[in-house]
Chains A and B, each alone.
Chain A
Protein backbone atom coordinates (compact mmCIF):
# COMPACT_ATOMS: atom_id res chain seq x y z
CA UNK A 1 0.00 0.00 0.00
CA UNK A 2 1.46 3.35 -1.00
CA UNK A 3 1.40 6.61 0.91
CA UNK A 4 -1.26 7.92 -1.46
CA UNK A 5 -3.51 4.93 -0.78
CA UNK A 6 -3.14 5.43 2.97
CA UNK A 7 -4.28 9.03 2.62
CA UNK A 8 -7.12 7.95 0.30
CA UNK A 9 -8.33 5.41 2.87
CA UNK A 10 -8.30 8.10 5.53
CA UNK A 11 -10.06 10.59 3.31
CA UNK A 12 -12.80 8.06 2.62
CA UNK A 13 -13.31 7.48 6.34
CA UNK A 14 -13.05 11.11 7.44
CA UNK A 15 -14.48 13.03 4.51
CA UNK A 16 -13.91 16.77 4.72
CA UNK A 17 -11.90 16.61 7.94
CA UNK A 18 -8.40 16.17 6.53
CA UNK A 19 -6.28 19.00 5.27
CA UNK A 20 -2.68 19.60 4.16
CA UNK A 21 -2.19 16.03 2.99
CA UNK A 22 1.19 15.46 1.42
CA UNK A 23 4.07 13.03 1.28
CA UNK A 24 7.64 14.17 1.69
CA UNK A 25 10.85 12.44 2.77
CA UNK A 26 9.09 9.09 3.00
CA UNK A 27 6.35 10.14 5.40
CA UNK A 28 2.73 10.99 4.61
CA UNK A 29 1.41 13.88 6.66
CA UNK A 30 -2.15 14.91 7.40
CA UNK A 31 -3.75 17.63 9.50
CA UNK A 32 -6.94 16.85 11.38
CA UNK A 33 -9.30 18.86 13.60
CA UNK A 34 -8.17 18.72 17.24
CA UNK A 35 -11.46 17.27 18.45
CA UNK A 36 -11.29 14.18 16.24
CA UNK A 37 -7.79 13.03 17.14
CA UNK A 38 -8.92 9.95 19.06
CA UNK A 39 -11.34 8.92 16.32
CA UNK A 40 -8.57 9.06 13.72
CA UNK A 41 -6.02 7.29 15.92
CA UNK A 42 -8.52 4.57 16.81
CA UNK A 43 -9.47 4.11 13.16
CA UNK A 44 -5.82 3.80 12.18
CA UNK A 45 -5.21 1.35 15.01
CA UNK A 46 -8.21 -0.86 14.26
CA UNK A 47 -8.04 -0.85 10.46
CA UNK A 48 -6.87 -4.27 9.29
CA UNK A 49 -5.37 -2.79 6.12
CA UNK A 50 -3.41 -0.05 7.84
CA UNK A 51 -2.56 -1.25 11.37
CA UNK A 52 -0.91 1.91 12.62
CA UNK A 53 -0.35 0.43 16.06
CA UNK A 54 3.02 1.87 16.97
CA UNK A 55 3.30 5.41 18.31
CA UNK A 56 6.81 6.46 17.39
CA UNK A 57 6.77 9.97 18.70
CA UNK A 58 4.54 12.68 20.07
CA UNK A 59 5.54 16.29 20.42
CA UNK A 60 4.41 19.86 19.85
CA UNK A 61 5.51 22.95 17.94
CA UNK A 62 4.75 26.56 18.77
CA UNK A 63 3.83 28.98 15.96
CA UNK A 64 3.22 32.33 17.71
CA UNK A 65 2.03 34.01 14.51
CA UNK A 66 -0.85 31.64 13.73
CA UNK A 67 -3.79 33.22 15.47
CA UNK A 68 -5.97 30.73 17.33
CA UNK A 69 -3.88 27.78 16.23
CA UNK A 70 -0.58 28.61 17.90
CA UNK A 71 0.21 25.14 19.18
CA UNK A 72 0.62 22.20 16.86
CA UNK A 73 0.59 18.69 18.33
CA UNK A 74 2.40 16.17 16.15
CA UNK A 75 1.98 12.39 16.25
CA UNK A 76 4.32 10.09 14.38
CA UNK A 77 2.76 6.69 13.84
CA UNK A 78 4.37 3.63 12.35
CA UNK A 79 2.61 0.71 10.76
CA UNK A 80 4.95 -2.24 11.20
CA UNK A 81 2.56 -4.21 9.01
CA UNK A 82 3.00 -1.86 6.00
CA UNK A 83 6.36 -0.48 7.12
CA UNK A 84 5.07 3.05 6.54
CA UNK A 85 5.16 6.12 8.71
CA UNK A 86 2.40 8.67 9.11
CA UNK A 87 2.52 12.13 10.65
CA UNK A 88 -0.68 13.55 12.11
CA UNK A 89 -0.88 17.18 13.08
CA UNK A 90 -3.53 19.13 14.86
CA UNK A 91 -3.67 22.76 15.87
CA UNK A 92 -5.05 24.20 19.09
CA UNK A 93 -5.17 27.78 20.39
CA UNK A 94 -2.55 28.61 22.99
CA UNK A 95 -5.24 30.12 25.22
CA UNK A 96 -7.07 26.79 25.58
CA UNK A 97 -4.78 24.01 24.33
CA UNK A 98 -7.05 21.05 24.96
CA UNK A 99 -6.38 17.74 23.22
CA UNK A 100 -7.78 14.33 24.13
CA UNK A 101 -5.18 11.99 25.55
CA UNK A 102 -3.98 9.04 23.51
CA UNK A 103 -2.61 7.27 26.58
CA UNK A 104 -5.54 4.86 26.75
CA UNK A 105 -4.73 3.65 23.25
CA UNK A 106 -0.94 3.74 23.53
CA UNK A 107 0.63 3.21 26.96
CA UNK A 108 3.77 4.85 25.55
CA UNK A 109 1.89 8.11 25.03
CA UNK A 110 1.73 8.67 28.78
CA UNK A 111 5.19 10.18 29.24
CA UNK A 112 5.33 11.68 25.77
CA UNK A 113 2.20 13.67 26.63
CA UNK A 114 3.62 14.63 29.99
CA UNK A 115 6.74 15.91 28.22
CA UNK A 116 4.64 17.87 25.74
CA UNK A 117 2.64 19.35 28.61
CA UNK A 118 5.83 20.16 30.47
CA UNK A 119 7.37 22.14 27.63
CA UNK A 120 4.36 23.52 25.75
CA UNK A 121 1.47 23.40 28.20
CA UNK A 122 -0.76 21.28 26.01
CA UNK A 123 -3.59 20.09 28.24
CA UNK A 124 -4.22 16.43 27.46
CA UNK A 125 -7.79 15.90 28.58
CA UNK A 126 -8.26 12.59 30.37
CA UNK A 127 -4.57 11.96 31.03
CA UNK A 128 -4.13 9.90 34.22
CA UNK A 129 -1.18 11.86 35.62
CA UNK A 130 -0.61 15.09 33.73
CA UNK A 131 2.22 16.76 35.61
CA UNK A 132 5.69 18.00 34.78
CA UNK A 133 8.25 15.34 33.99
CA UNK A 134 11.65 16.82 33.15
CA UNK A 135 11.34 20.29 34.69
CA UNK A 136 10.79 21.05 38.36
CA UNK A 137 7.23 20.97 39.63
CA UNK A 138 7.42 24.59 40.83
CA UNK A 139 7.99 25.95 37.31
CA UNK A 140 5.12 28.25 36.30
CA UNK A 141 5.73 28.64 32.57
CA UNK A 142 6.20 26.42 29.52
CA UNK A 143 9.81 26.92 28.45
CA UNK A 144 9.74 25.69 24.85
CA UNK A 145 7.21 28.32 23.78
CA UNK A 146 8.80 30.89 21.53
CA UNK A 147 8.17 33.84 23.84
CA UNK A 148 10.86 32.56 26.18
CA UNK A 149 14.19 33.43 24.62
CA UNK A 150 17.05 31.10 25.28
CA UNK A 151 19.60 33.84 25.55
CA UNK A 152 19.71 37.19 27.28
CA UNK A 153 17.26 39.26 25.17
CA UNK A 154 19.32 42.44 25.65
CA UNK A 155 22.27 41.05 23.70
CA UNK A 156 22.20 42.36 20.15
CA UNK A 157 24.74 39.81 18.90
CA UNK A 158 22.26 37.06 19.72
CA UNK A 159 19.32 38.72 18.00
CA UNK A 160 17.21 36.67 15.62
CA UNK A 161 18.68 38.60 12.74
CA UNK A 162 21.94 36.82 13.44
CA UNK A 163 20.12 33.56 12.85
CA UNK A 164 18.60 34.48 9.49
CA UNK A 165 15.14 35.38 10.72
CA UNK A 166 15.06 39.19 10.72
CA UNK A 167 14.04 40.80 13.99
CA UNK A 168 12.87 39.25 17.20
CA UNK A 169 10.53 36.34 16.95
CA UNK A 170 8.02 37.35 19.61
Chain B
Protein backbone atom coordinates (compact mmCIF):
# COMPACT_ATOMS: atom_id res chain seq x y z
CA UNK B 1 0.00 0.00 0.00
CA UNK B 2 1.22 3.47 -0.83
CA UNK B 3 2.64 5.43 2.06
CA UNK B 4 0.45 8.40 1.11
CA UNK B 5 -2.84 6.67 1.76
CA UNK B 6 -3.97 6.81 5.35
CA UNK B 7 -6.86 4.55 6.18
CA UNK B 8 -8.57 4.40 9.52
CA UNK B 9 -7.97 1.34 11.59
CA UNK B 10 -10.22 -1.54 10.60
CA UNK B 11 -11.55 0.41 7.65
CA UNK B 12 -10.73 -2.47 5.31
CA UNK B 13 -12.63 -4.97 7.40
CA UNK B 14 -15.73 -2.82 7.80
CA UNK B 15 -19.04 -3.87 6.26
CA UNK B 16 -20.25 -0.45 5.16
CA UNK B 17 -19.25 1.78 2.24
CA UNK B 18 -18.09 5.36 2.66
CA UNK B 19 -19.68 7.66 0.12
CA UNK B 20 -18.88 11.30 -0.48
CA UNK B 21 -22.00 13.23 -1.40
CA UNK B 22 -20.88 16.65 -2.51
CA UNK B 23 -19.50 19.27 -2.11
CA UNK B 24 -20.19 19.88 -5.80
CA UNK B 25 -22.80 17.30 -6.57
CA UNK B 26 -25.61 18.31 -8.93
CA UNK B 27 -28.21 16.81 -6.60
CA UNK B 28 -27.22 18.90 -3.58
CA UNK B 29 -28.09 22.33 -5.07
CA UNK B 30 -25.25 24.20 -3.44
CA UNK B 31 -21.95 23.54 -1.79
CA UNK B 32 -22.87 20.84 0.70
CA UNK B 33 -20.70 17.89 1.57
CA UNK B 34 -21.90 14.83 3.40
CA UNK B 35 -19.70 11.87 4.18
CA UNK B 36 -22.16 9.04 4.24
CA UNK B 37 -21.65 5.61 5.68
CA UNK B 38 -23.79 3.34 3.49
CA UNK B 39 -25.08 -0.15 4.08
CA UNK B 40 -26.16 -0.97 0.54
CA UNK B 41 -28.68 1.74 -0.32
CA UNK B 42 -29.36 2.62 3.32
CA UNK B 43 -27.64 5.45 5.13
CA UNK B 44 -26.09 4.37 8.40
CA UNK B 45 -24.66 7.73 9.37
CA UNK B 46 -23.90 11.09 7.81
CA UNK B 47 -21.31 13.71 8.69
CA UNK B 48 -22.01 17.09 7.09
CA UNK B 49 -19.18 19.51 6.38
CA UNK B 50 -20.08 23.15 6.00
CA UNK B 51 -18.21 26.40 5.49
CA UNK B 52 -17.11 26.09 1.86
CA UNK B 53 -18.36 29.56 1.01
CA UNK B 54 -17.81 31.28 4.32
CA UNK B 55 -17.21 34.98 3.62
CA UNK B 56 -16.78 36.38 7.14
CA UNK B 57 -19.80 38.71 6.96
CA UNK B 58 -19.88 39.24 10.70
CA UNK B 59 -16.26 40.39 10.72
CA UNK B 60 -16.79 42.60 7.68
CA UNK B 61 -19.89 44.12 9.30
CA UNK B 62 -17.77 45.37 12.20
CA UNK B 63 -15.98 47.65 9.74
CA UNK B 64 -18.87 48.90 7.62
CA UNK B 65 -21.16 51.88 8.17
CA UNK B 66 -24.70 50.70 8.78
CA UNK B 67 -26.00 51.35 5.27
CA UNK B 68 -23.17 49.29 3.75
CA UNK B 69 -24.30 46.23 5.67
CA UNK B 70 -27.52 45.91 3.64
CA UNK B 71 -25.65 44.43 0.63
CA UNK B 72 -24.07 41.87 2.96
CA UNK B 73 -27.51 40.68 4.05
CA UNK B 74 -28.43 40.18 0.37
CA UNK B 75 -25.87 37.46 0.14
CA UNK B 76 -27.17 35.39 3.03
CA UNK B 77 -30.39 33.91 1.70
CA UNK B 78 -30.09 35.09 -1.89
CA UNK B 79 -33.40 33.47 -2.86
CA UNK B 80 -35.26 36.05 -0.79
CA UNK B 81 -32.79 38.87 -0.26
CA UNK B 82 -35.40 41.66 0.13
CA UNK B 83 -36.61 40.01 3.37
CA UNK B 84 -33.05 40.06 4.71
CA UNK B 85 -32.59 43.69 3.63
CA UNK B 86 -35.77 44.77 5.33
CA UNK B 87 -35.06 42.69 8.41
CA UNK B 88 -31.82 44.64 8.78
CA UNK B 89 -33.54 47.98 8.17
CA UNK B 90 -36.23 47.15 10.73
CA UNK B 91 -33.53 46.18 13.26
CA UNK B 92 -31.76 49.52 12.93
CA UNK B 93 -35.05 51.43 12.93
CA UNK B 94 -36.07 49.73 16.16
CA UNK B 95 -32.72 50.62 17.72
CA UNK B 96 -33.06 54.25 16.60
CA UNK B 97 -36.73 54.41 17.56
CA UNK B 98 -37.90 55.31 14.06
CA UNK B 99 -41.58 54.70 13.39
CA UNK B 100 -42.27 54.06 9.72
CA UNK B 101 -45.45 55.35 8.09
CA UNK B 102 -48.19 52.84 7.26
CA UNK B 103 -47.69 53.18 3.51
CA UNK B 104 -44.01 52.25 3.86
CA UNK B 105 -44.97 49.24 5.97
CA UNK B 106 -47.45 48.05 3.36
CA UNK B 107 -45.02 48.55 0.50
CA UNK B 108 -42.49 46.52 2.45
CA UNK B 109 -45.05 43.81 3.07
CA UNK B 110 -45.69 43.58 -0.68
CA UNK B 111 -41.99 43.20 -1.45
CA UNK B 112 -41.40 40.74 1.38
CA UNK B 113 -44.33 38.54 0.40
CA UNK B 114 -43.24 38.57 -3.24
CA UNK B 115 -39.82 37.36 -2.14
CA UNK B 116 -41.41 34.69 0.02
CA UNK B 117 -43.32 33.47 -3.04
CA UNK B 118 -40.10 33.43 -5.11
CA UNK B 119 -38.24 31.58 -2.36
CA UNK B 120 -40.95 28.96 -1.88
CA UNK B 121 -41.35 28.48 -5.64
CA UNK B 122 -37.66 27.67 -6.01
CA UNK B 123 -37.69 25.27 -3.10
CA UNK B 124 -40.89 23.44 -3.99
CA UNK B 125 -40.16 23.13 -7.68
CA UNK B 126 -36.71 21.74 -6.86
CA UNK B 127 -38.31 19.03 -4.74
CA UNK B 128 -40.10 18.15 -7.97
CA UNK B 129 -36.81 18.09 -9.87
CA UNK B 130 -35.25 15.76 -7.33
CA UNK B 131 -38.13 13.36 -7.66
CA UNK B 132 -37.77 13.40 -11.44
CA UNK B 133 -40.43 15.96 -12.40
CA UNK B 134 -38.58 18.71 -14.26
CA UNK B 135 -41.70 20.14 -15.91
CA UNK B 136 -43.10 21.85 -12.83
CA UNK B 137 -39.77 23.59 -12.26
CA UNK B 138 -39.89 25.15 -15.70
CA UNK B 139 -43.54 26.18 -15.22
CA UNK B 140 -43.03 28.25 -12.09
CA UNK B 141 -39.74 29.84 -13.02
CA UNK B 142 -41.66 32.13 -15.32
CA UNK B 143 -43.32 33.65 -12.25
CA UNK B 144 -40.06 33.97 -10.37
CA UNK B 145 -38.89 35.98 -13.36
CA UNK B 146 -41.99 38.24 -13.08
CA UNK B 147 -41.20 38.80 -9.40
CA UNK B 148 -37.63 39.75 -10.23
CA UNK B 149 -38.95 42.19 -12.81
CA UNK B 150 -40.99 43.85 -10.06
CA UNK B 151 -37.87 44.15 -7.90
CA UNK B 152 -36.06 45.59 -10.89
CA UNK B 153 -38.75 48.22 -11.35
CA UNK B 154 -38.55 49.17 -7.66
CA UNK B 155 -34.82 49.18 -6.99
CA UNK B 156 -33.00 48.39 -10.23
CA UNK B 157 -31.57 45.00 -9.33
CA UNK B 158 -32.92 41.49 -9.31
CA UNK B 159 -31.16 38.88 -7.22
CA UNK B 160 -29.06 40.74 -4.67
CA UNK B 161 -31.42 43.62 -4.35
CA UNK B 162 -30.11 46.04 -1.70
CA UNK B 163 -33.71 47.24 -1.67
CA UNK B 164 -34.88 50.02 0.63
CA UNK B 165 -33.11 52.27 3.09
CA UNK B 166 -33.40 52.92 6.82
CA UNK B 167 -36.86 54.38 7.25
CA UNK B 168 -38.30 53.26 3.95
CA UNK B 169 -37.33 53.11 0.30
CA UNK B 170 -34.72 54.95 -1.72
CA UNK B 171 -37.42 56.26 -4.06
CA UNK B 172 -41.12 55.95 -4.52
CA UNK B 173 -42.54 52.95 -6.37
CA UNK B 174 -43.03 53.87 -10.03
CA UNK B 175 -46.41 53.21 -11.62
CA UNK B 176 -44.66 50.50 -13.65
CA UNK B 177 -44.03 48.54 -10.46
CA UNK B 178 -47.70 48.61 -9.46
CA UNK B 179 -48.69 47.60 -13.00
CA UNK B 180 -46.32 44.65 -12.83
CA UNK B 181 -47.61 43.62 -9.40
CA UNK B 182 -51.19 43.70 -10.67
CA UNK B 183 -50.23 41.75 -13.77
CA UNK B 184 -48.47 39.19 -11.60
CA UNK B 185 -51.45 38.84 -9.27
CA UNK B 186 -53.66 38.23 -12.27
CA UNK B 187 -51.50 35.60 -13.97
CA UNK B 188 -49.90 33.86 -11.02
CA UNK B 189 -52.91 32.02 -9.45
CA UNK B 190 -53.52 30.15 -12.70
CA UNK B 191 -49.84 29.12 -12.96
CA UNK B 192 -49.74 28.14 -9.31
CA UNK B 193 -52.82 25.97 -9.70
CA UNK B 194 -51.19 24.32 -12.67
CA UNK B 195 -48.06 23.69 -10.61
CA UNK B 196 -50.09 22.18 -7.80
CA UNK B 197 -52.06 20.01 -10.19
CA UNK B 198 -48.79 18.59 -11.50
CA UNK B 199 -47.46 17.53 -8.10
CA UNK B 200 -49.80 17.71 -5.12
CA UNK B 201 -51.94 14.66 -5.94
CA UNK B 202 -49.37 13.06 -8.23
CA UNK B 203 -49.09 9.42 -7.21
CA UNK B 204 -45.35 9.15 -7.95
CA UNK B 205 -44.57 12.40 -6.14
CA UNK B 206 -46.63 11.38 -3.12
CA UNK B 207 -44.96 7.98 -2.89
CA UNK B 208 -41.56 9.60 -3.09
CA UNK B 209 -42.19 12.27 -0.45
CA UNK B 210 -44.71 10.97 2.08
CA UNK B 211 -43.08 9.55 5.20
CA UNK B 212 -39.67 10.65 3.96
CA UNK B 213 -37.40 12.90 5.99
CA UNK B 214 -39.90 13.43 8.78
CA UNK B 215 -39.18 15.05 12.12
CA UNK B 216 -41.41 15.27 15.17
CA UNK B 217 -42.52 18.64 16.56
CA UNK B 218 -40.62 17.97 19.77
CA UNK B 219 -37.32 17.21 18.00
CA UNK B 220 -37.83 20.11 15.60
CA UNK B 221 -38.24 22.54 18.51
CA UNK B 222 -35.26 21.05 20.29
CA UNK B 223 -33.21 21.61 17.13
CA UNK B 224 -34.43 25.25 17.00
CA UNK B 225 -36.23 24.74 13.69
CA UNK B 226 -38.13 27.74 12.40
CA UNK B 227 -40.13 28.63 9.32
CA UNK B 228 -42.00 26.18 7.08
CA UNK B 229 -39.89 23.25 8.33
CA UNK B 230 -41.11 23.78 11.89
CA UNK B 231 -44.67 24.48 10.80
CA UNK B 232 -44.72 21.28 8.73
CA UNK B 233 -44.03 19.43 11.99
CA UNK B 234 -47.16 21.01 13.48
CA UNK B 235 -45.95 24.02 15.47
CA UNK B 236 -47.71 27.24 14.49
CA UNK B 237 -44.79 29.57 15.19
CA UNK B 238 -44.47 32.39 12.69
CA UNK B 239 -42.62 35.62 13.55
CA UNK B 240 -45.11 37.62 11.47
CA UNK B 241 -47.83 36.67 13.95
CA UNK B 242 -45.90 36.03 17.16
CA UNK B 243 -44.00 39.32 17.16
CA UNK B 244 -45.34 41.40 14.26
CA UNK B 245 -43.16 43.87 12.40
CA UNK B 246 -43.92 46.16 9.48
CA UNK B 247 -47.65 46.26 10.41
CA UNK B 248 -48.27 42.54 9.80
CA UNK B 249 -50.83 42.78 12.60
CA UNK B 250 -53.12 44.67 10.17
CA UNK B 251 -53.36 41.70 7.84
CA UNK B 252 -55.65 38.73 7.91
CA UNK B 253 -53.89 35.49 7.02
CA UNK B 254 -53.59 31.89 8.13
CA UNK B 255 -50.51 29.99 9.28
CA UNK B 256 -50.61 26.62 7.54
CA UNK B 257 -49.28 23.74 9.62
CA UNK B 258 -48.53 20.11 8.81
CA UNK B 259 -48.64 17.04 11.00
CA UNK B 260 -45.76 14.68 10.28
CA UNK B 261 -43.00 17.13 9.30
CA UNK B 262 -42.03 15.03 6.28
CA UNK B 263 -41.06 16.23 2.82
CA UNK B 264 -44.65 16.13 1.58
CA UNK B 265 -45.87 18.25 4.52
CA UNK B 266 -43.14 20.82 3.94
CA UNK B 267 -44.17 20.97 0.30
CA UNK B 268 -47.83 21.47 1.21
CA UNK B 269 -47.08 24.08 3.87
CA UNK B 270 -45.01 26.12 1.42
CA UNK B 271 -47.66 25.91 -1.28
CA UNK B 272 -50.29 27.06 1.18
CA UNK B 273 -48.06 29.90 2.33
CA UNK B 274 -47.74 31.03 -1.26
CA UNK B 275 -51.53 31.36 -1.43
CA UNK B 276 -51.54 33.28 1.86
CA UNK B 277 -48.84 35.57 0.49
CA UNK B 278 -50.92 36.29 -2.59
CA UNK B 279 -53.81 37.23 -0.33
CA UNK B 280 -51.54 39.43 1.83
CA UNK B 281 -50.27 41.29 -1.24
CA UNK B 282 -53.85 41.92 -2.39
CA UNK B 283 -54.79 43.21 1.06
CA UNK B 284 -51.72 45.46 1.09
CA UNK B 285 -52.65 46.97 -2.27
CA UNK B 286 -56.17 47.62 -1.00
CA UNK B 287 -54.83 49.24 2.16
CA UNK B 288 -52.50 51.47 0.17
CA UNK B 289 -55.37 52.47 -2.13
CA UNK B 290 -57.50 53.29 0.93
CA UNK B 291 -54.70 55.41 2.43
CA UNK B 292 -54.28 57.31 -0.82
CA UNK B 293 -58.01 57.79 -1.27
CA UNK B 294 -58.29 59.28 2.23
CA UNK B 295 -55.31 61.59 1.75
CA UNK B 296 -53.82 62.11 -1.74
CA UNK B 297 -50.54 63.40 -0.23
CA UNK B 298 -49.94 59.81 0.97
CA UNK B 299 -48.92 58.96 -2.59
CA UNK B 300 -45.58 60.64 -1.98
CA UNK B 301 -44.83 58.87 1.32
CA UNK B 302 -42.08 56.34 0.85
CA UNK B 303 -39.87 56.86 3.88
CA UNK B 304 -40.16 57.94 7.50
CA UNK B 305 -39.64 61.72 7.83
CA UNK B 306 -37.73 61.33 11.11
CA UNK B 307 -35.28 59.02 9.34
CA UNK B 308 -34.05 61.74 6.99
CA UNK B 309 -30.66 61.66 8.70
CA UNK B 310 -30.27 58.09 7.56
CA UNK B 311 -31.78 58.46 4.13
CA UNK B 312 -29.73 59.63 1.14
CA UNK B 313 -31.27 62.76 -0.39
CA UNK B 314 -32.57 62.58 -3.99
CA UNK B 315 -29.76 62.77 -6.53
CA UNK B 316 -31.08 65.92 -8.25
CA UNK B 317 -31.02 67.74 -4.90
CA UNK B 318 -27.44 66.63 -4.26
CA UNK B 319 -26.36 68.35 -7.48
CA UNK B 320 -28.32 71.56 -6.90
CA UNK B 321 -28.70 72.13 -3.14
CA UNK B 322 -25.94 72.76 -0.62
CA UNK B 323 -27.64 71.05 2.37
CA UNK B 324 -28.43 67.95 0.36
CA UNK B 325 -24.80 67.74 -0.77
CA UNK B 326 -23.54 68.05 2.81
CA UNK B 327 -25.97 65.41 4.03
CA UNK B 328 -25.07 63.10 1.19
CA UNK B 329 -21.36 63.46 2.04
CA UNK B 330 -21.90 62.92 5.75
CA UNK B 331 -23.98 59.84 5.16
CA UNK B 332 -21.63 58.27 2.65
CA UNK B 333 -18.70 58.89 4.98
CA UNK B 334 -20.70 57.19 7.73
CA UNK B 335 -20.67 60.24 10.00
CA UNK B 336 -24.22 59.67 11.16
CA UNK B 337 -24.49 58.78 14.83
CA UNK B 338 -26.16 55.63 16.02
CA UNK B 339 -26.79 55.64 19.74
CA UNK B 340 -25.30 52.88 21.89
CA UNK B 341 -27.67 50.02 22.44
CA UNK B 342 -28.30 46.37 22.06
CA UNK B 343 -31.10 44.74 20.15
CA UNK B 344 -32.26 41.40 18.82
CA UNK B 345 -34.82 41.72 16.10
CA UNK B 346 -36.21 39.01 13.86
CA UNK B 347 -38.28 38.69 10.72
CA UNK B 348 -39.86 35.66 9.10
CA UNK B 349 -37.56 34.81 6.22
CA UNK B 350 -38.19 32.40 3.40
CA UNK B 351 -36.85 29.46 5.38
CA UNK B 352 -37.22 30.56 8.99
CA UNK B 353 -36.56 33.20 11.57
CA UNK B 354 -33.86 35.56 10.33
CA UNK B 355 -32.52 37.39 13.37
CA UNK B 356 -30.11 40.27 13.81
CA UNK B 357 -28.30 40.68 17.10
CA UNK B 358 -26.79 44.12 16.98
CA UNK B 359 -24.60 45.83 19.57
CA UNK B 360 -23.85 49.48 18.93
CA UNK B 361 -21.26 51.32 21.02
CA UNK B 362 -22.01 54.67 19.40
CA UNK B 363 -19.44 54.20 16.63
CA UNK B 364 -20.17 54.46 12.94
CA UNK B 365 -20.11 50.71 12.55
CA UNK B 366 -21.71 47.99 14.68
CA UNK B 367 -19.57 46.84 17.59
CA UNK B 368 -20.94 43.38 16.99
CA UNK B 369 -23.48 42.07 14.55
CA UNK B 370 -24.61 38.48 14.60
CA UNK B 371 -26.94 37.01 12.01
CA UNK B 372 -29.26 34.27 13.15
CA UNK B 373 -29.28 32.18 10.01
CA UNK B 374 -32.15 29.69 10.16
CA UNK B 375 -30.73 27.05 7.85
CA UNK B 376 -27.37 26.93 9.65
CA UNK B 377 -29.30 25.99 12.75
CA UNK B 378 -31.65 23.41 11.31
CA UNK B 379 -29.16 21.77 8.95
CA UNK B 380 -27.52 20.10 11.95
CA UNK B 381 -30.61 17.92 12.26
CA UNK B 382 -29.97 16.51 8.78
CA UNK B 383 -27.93 13.43 9.87
CA UNK B 384 -30.66 12.52 12.35
CA UNK B 385 -33.42 12.98 9.76
CA UNK B 386 -31.81 10.86 7.05
CA UNK B 387 -30.45 8.10 9.25
CA UNK B 388 -31.74 4.78 7.98
CA UNK B 389 -33.28 6.21 4.83
CA UNK B 390 -32.36 5.58 1.19
CA UNK B 391 -29.77 7.69 -0.55
CA UNK B 392 -32.34 9.01 -3.03
CA UNK B 393 -34.58 10.03 -0.13
CA UNK B 394 -31.70 11.92 1.47
CA UNK B 395 -31.41 14.04 -1.67
CA UNK B 396 -35.13 14.86 -1.65
CA UNK B 397 -34.96 15.62 2.07
CA UNK B 398 -32.11 18.03 1.53
CA UNK B 399 -33.96 20.01 -1.12
CA UNK B 400 -37.13 20.07 0.99
CA UNK B 401 -35.28 21.69 3.89
CA UNK B 402 -34.67 24.77 1.71
CA UNK B 403 -30.96 24.98 2.45
CA UNK B 404 -29.22 28.01 1.00
CA UNK B 405 -25.44 27.61 1.08
CA UNK B 406 -24.89 31.37 1.23
CA UNK B 407 -26.95 31.67 4.37
CA UNK B 408 -25.58 28.53 5.97
CA UNK B 409 -21.96 29.57 5.63
CA UNK B 410 -22.48 33.31 6.17
Contact = CB atoms under 8 A, between A and B. Distances in A.
Interface string B59-70: 110110100000
Contact of B344 (A27, A135, A144, A158): A27
Given A133-B51, A150-B62, A54 B357 contact: no
A18 to B, nearest CB: 17
Given A56-B353, A134-B50, A134-B51, A108 B243 contact: no
Given A57-B372, A76-B357, A108-B223, A164 B63 contact: no
Contact-size category for A: 35 or more
Contact of B345 (A25, A59, A62): A25
Contact of A85 (B335, B344, B381): B344
Interface in A48-96: 53-57, 59, 61-62, 74, 76, 80, 83, 85, 87
Contacts, number: 111
Interface string A18-45: 0000001111010000000000000000
Interface of A: 24-27, 29, 53-57, 59, 61-62, 74, 76, 80, 83, 85, 87, 106-108, 110-112, 115, 119, 132-136, 143-144, 150-151, 158, 162-165
B56 A80 contact: no
Which 7 pairs across A and B sit closest by C-beta, in order of nearness? A108-B224, A134-B51, A164-B364, A164-B363, A111-B380, A134-B54, A59-B370
Interface of B: 50-51, 54, 56, 58-60, 62-63, 65, 94-95, 219, 221-225, 235, 237, 242-243, 334-335, 337, 341-346, 353, 355, 357, 359, 361-365, 367-368, 370, 372, 376-381, 409-410
Contacts of A29: 342
A47 to B, nearest CB: 16
Contact of B409 (A134, A150, A151): A134
A67 B355 CA distance: 30
A56 B355 CA distance: 9
18 contacts: A54-B221, A55-B224, A57-B344, A57-B357, A59-B370, A83-B242, A85-B243, A106-B224, A107-B219, A107-B380, A108-B224, A111-B377, A119-B58, A135-B54, A136-B51, A150-B62, A163-B65, A165-B363
Contacts of B381: 107-108
Given A108-B224, A115-B376, 9 more contacts: A53-B221, A54-B224, A57-B370, A74-B357, A80-B235, A107-B222, A134-B51, A134-B54, A134-B410
Contacts of B370: 57, 59
A54 B378 CA distance: 13
Contacts of A57: 344, 355, 357, 370, 372
Contacts of A53: 221-222
B59 A61 contact: no
B63 A163 contact: yes
A61 B377 CA distance: 19
Nearest to A76: B344
Contact of B377 (A74, A87, A108): A108
A70 B220 CA distance: 34
Given A133-B50, A163-B365, A24 B341 contact: yes
Given A57-B372, A133-B50, A134-B409, A110 B380 contact: yes
B51 A135 contact: yes
B249 to A, nearest CB: 13
B341 A111 contact: no
